[in-house]
Amino acid sequence: MLTIADRIFQSRLFTGTGKFNSPAMMEEALLASGSQLVTVALKRVDVKHNDNDDLLLRLKYPHINLLPNTSGVRNAKEAVFAAQLAREALETNWIKLEIHPDPKYLMPDPIETLKATEELAKMGFVVLPYIHADPVLCKRLEDAGTAAVMPLGSPIGSNKGLKTIDFLEIIISQSTVPVIVDAGIGAPSDAAKALEIGADAVLVNTAIAVSSNPVQMAEAFKLAVEAGRMAFEAKLAQPVSYAMASSPLTSFLDE
Amino acid sequence: MSSFNDIFETYNWDDTKASIYAKTSADVERALAAEKRTLEDFKALVSPAAAPYLEQMAQISQRLTLKRFGKVLQMYVPLYLSNECSNICTYCGFSYDNKVKRKTLSPMEIMQEVAVIKEMGYEHVLLVTGEDNVNVHVDYFKKVLELIRPHFAHISMEVQPMDLEDYQQLTPYGLNTVLVYQETYHKEDYKKHHPKGKKSNFKYRVETPDRLGQAGIHKMGLGVLIGLEDWRTDCFFTAMHLNYLEKKYWQTKYSLSFPRLRPFSGGLEPKVEMNDRELVQLICAYRLFNEEVELSISTRESANFRNNIIKLGITSISAGSKTNPGGYAVEPESLEQFEISDERSPAEIAKIIAQQGYEAVWKDWDSCLT
């Protein structure tokens, strides 16, 4: 089972709440996904009157933990402010740090993200930062007190899968905190692959929300994540591209 | 400091227009097949040669928009603050030489209007005025922003172009987005349509997005008034402007509008007609050229057109709009800037959006973010 900070997760599929065609559809899909950690953009919800917010009402299940995100902020200062607001409004000290000053490709700013992580961790937040698949940055974030790292698989919303796989493997091999592949996962097979190489979890939004049957797609991701994890635990056989000959080079030793 | 005008000056309208009309079906097919599309591809997509490929363009446009924006449409509404204007614009109901009763809303009147708008469910508001530095100046806007900021999640403005310092002063008051339409990139025609007032300065207007970028505005909106000149050429320059701005002011978000000239009492007839088929072509061409840009449609367009355009690439839509200051509560009968084509209520539009399998989103920003 996966532990992040003080919480245990049976499901390794984290999900988002954007891009669905209705709050009802979102609710149904998220239930089908079995997800226990669901991220919500602070900018999408009514923080002042959150008791009436349709989106939030649809997420009120005992097994669903809310993960507010800071989407829309451009620097560490704004992120810290947004995190405090989210903590107050949604009564959780968990925060998904999204600092993308670039609104076109939504690329995370590593410098501001590190700064904000340091500050928020000191303030007692459980910080999950969305970042590039940058192994050094991941180690720096660990030092700063991050609860997990969320490197991207490919550009956010692109459905291109694990384009950063070589870097993800390095990150996974040396991380002391959970690694959650956050962006670009377009198909259940991408999610399975991420788990197979040892990622602790994946976060999927677009691929579920935009499919023509989000509920069925959510279930497909659920199964893929479970399969990927099982395969990782069972230890995958390594692919080999050549046959193993009997020992022509070392057989003389037995003579 | 360099500006878009430096690049724009190297272009010639007639040559550009000719190059668009020279595009062939082979150019269109290449543009359709490309993964990332260039300005030359955009020319092909808005050219007459692309007309037979409209359905294909619409399919791609829908797919790209879904991927980026999801099954949602952002709702916004204009709030007209003033019809004072010191410009002559041959096509506008608020033009200086047009004999209408002038009105600028007082703080109390603004709050009456806000109450009605909030009742409709809006969180994203677009403040609109004529262009008049005497009555609607920076200090007036500061007061308005201060007044309404607690009531809205997202505030945009469509007023006269301002100096860099003005924009820098307004952003801390919660100004998120500024829309500034070039009207036309045809310099000579621009002069003809704007013979008097500060607006007659083409260069100052065309450099406004540069000033907004320098001021670090969150989002800016571009567009031309379709009907003044050849729309294909005008929209090519819009796309080129967008391309330039995105690279230079990479922290800013962009939106495009494509208002077609609407009648008003005593107004100008469009020089160039753009039919519905061509407007769909333009919307899809913009989307194929730029996957991330927001595309906005107003109540200038008819109910039937708006119903059918929801799934084709646009990302934000207004409804229940009034284009006269005081139109919601204070003086509903005063003269409008232009006639509305689609008078359905925001609730009705939200229902239509839902019927098409999309969600009308009312809030996608927070005042804490500006």
Is pLDDT of A250 > 90?
Answer: no
pLDDT at residue B196 in the model: 87
Q: What is the pLDDT of residue B57?
A: 97
Dump pLDDT digits (tens) for B47-97: 999 999 999 999 999 999 999 999 999 999 999 999 998 888 888 888 888
- pLDDT of residue B221 exceeding 70: yes
Q: What pLDDT is attached to residue B265?
A: 56
pLDDT for the residue numbered A150: 98
Residue B205: how many other CB atoms lie within 10 Å: 20
Q: Among candidates B299, B279, B296, which has minimal Cα distance to B179? A: B296
CB-CB neighbours of B229 under 10 Å? 23
Of B184, B122, B190, B183, the C-alpha closest to B158 is B183
Walk across the sheet containing A126-131 and list its strands: A150-151, A126-131, A94-97, A65-69, A37-41, A13-16, A201-204, A180-181
pLDDT at A48 (0 to 100): 77
Residue range A150-202, pLDDT digits in tens: 999 999 988 999 999 999 999 999 999 999 999 999 999 999 999 999 999 99
Catalytic residues of A: 96
**H-assigned helices in chain B:** 4-8, 13-21, 25-33, 39-46, 54-69, 107-119, 138-148, 164-170, 187-193, 202-206, 208-214, 231-248, 276-289, 303-309, 346-355
**Closest by CA position to A5, among listed A136, A96, A112:** A96
Q: Can you give the pLDDT at residue B98?
A: 85
ipTM field: 0.82
* Rounded Cα–Cα distance for residues A88 and B68 (Å): 30
Please tell me the distance from the alpha carbon of residue B219 to that of residue B226, in angstroms, as a whole number. 22
Using a CB-CB cut-off of 8 Å, the residues of chain B touching A81 are 368
Contacts of B131 (CB under 8 A, 6+ apart): B85, B86, B87, B159, B160, B161, B197, B198, B199
* Full-model pTM: 0.90
Q: What percent of chain B has pLDDT over 90?
A: 84
Q: Which residues contact B104 (CB under 8 A, 6 or more apart)?
A: B81, B82, B83, B84, B129, B135, B136, B140, B325
Say whether B369 and A73 touch across the interface (CB within 8 A): yes
Q: Which residue of B has its CA nearest to A40?
A: B364
Contact B152, B124 (CB under 8 A): yes
Distance CA B175, CA B167 (A): 9
> Could you tell me which chain B residue has the CA closest to the CA of A158?
B67
- pLDDT (tens digit per residue) in B186-219: 999 999 999 988 899 999 999 999 999 999 999 9
pLDDT of residue A239: 74
Alpha-carbon gap, residue B74 to B124, rounded angstroms:
9
Average pLDDT on B338-353 reads 92
- Reported confidence tier of residue B134, pLDDT bands at 50, 70, 90: confident
CATH number assigned to the domain covering B4-369:
3.20.20.70
Give the span between the Cα atoms of B185 and A236, in whole angstroms: 61
Exposure on the CB side of residue B344, measured as CA atoms within 13 A: 18
What are A192-246's pLDDT values in tens digits? 999 999 999 999 999 999 999 999 999 999 999 999 999 999 988 877 777 777 7
Q: How much helix, strand and coil, in percent to the nearest 5, is found in chain A?
A: 40, 15, 45
First to last CA, chain B: 27
Q: List residues of chain B with CB under 8 Å from any CB of chain A.
A: 66-72, 153, 219, 246, 250-253, 292, 354, 357-359, 361, 363-366, 368-369
Give yes or no for a contact between B175 and B217, defined as CB atoms under 8 angstroms apart: yes
User: Quick check: A23 and B366 CB within 8 A?
Assistant: no
- What number of C-beta contacts closer than 8 Å exist between A and B? 72
* Residue A89 backbone zone (phi > 0: left; psi -120 to 50: alpha; other: beta): alpha
- Say what the pLDDT of residue B184 is: 97
The residue type of A77 is: K
**Cα A145 to Cα B40: distance, rounded to the nearest angstrom:** 49
Other CB atoms within 10 A of residue B192 CB = 12
CB A64 within 8 A of CB A41: no
A20 touches chain B (CB under 8 A): yes
| Mean local confidence (pLDDT), B149-155 | 96
B136: its two tokens: 């609607």
Residue range A2-254 in CATH 3.20.20.140: no
Per-residue pLDDT averaged across B177-184, rounded?
Answer: 97
Contact (CB<8Å) A104/B72: no
**Which DSSP symbol is given to B269?**
P
One-letter amino acid at B108 equals M
Distance CA A159, CA A105 (A): 13
Whole-number Å distance between alpha carbons of A63 and A41: 19
Asked if pLDDT for residue B267 goes beyond 70, the answer is: no
A107 touches chain B (CB under 8 A): no
Task: Fill in the amino acid letter for A144.
Answer: A
pLDDT of residue A194: 98
Chain B nearest C-alpha distance from A178 (Å): 28
Biggest distance spanned by C-alpha atoms of chain B: 60
Residue B152 tokens, joined: 């809205």
Averaged pLDDT of chain A: 94
Q: Are A32 and A222 in contact (CB under 8 A)?
A: yes
What pLDDT score does B266 carry? 58
Interchain pair B366, A43: CB under 8 A = yes
- Stretch (H or E) spanning A95: strand A94-97
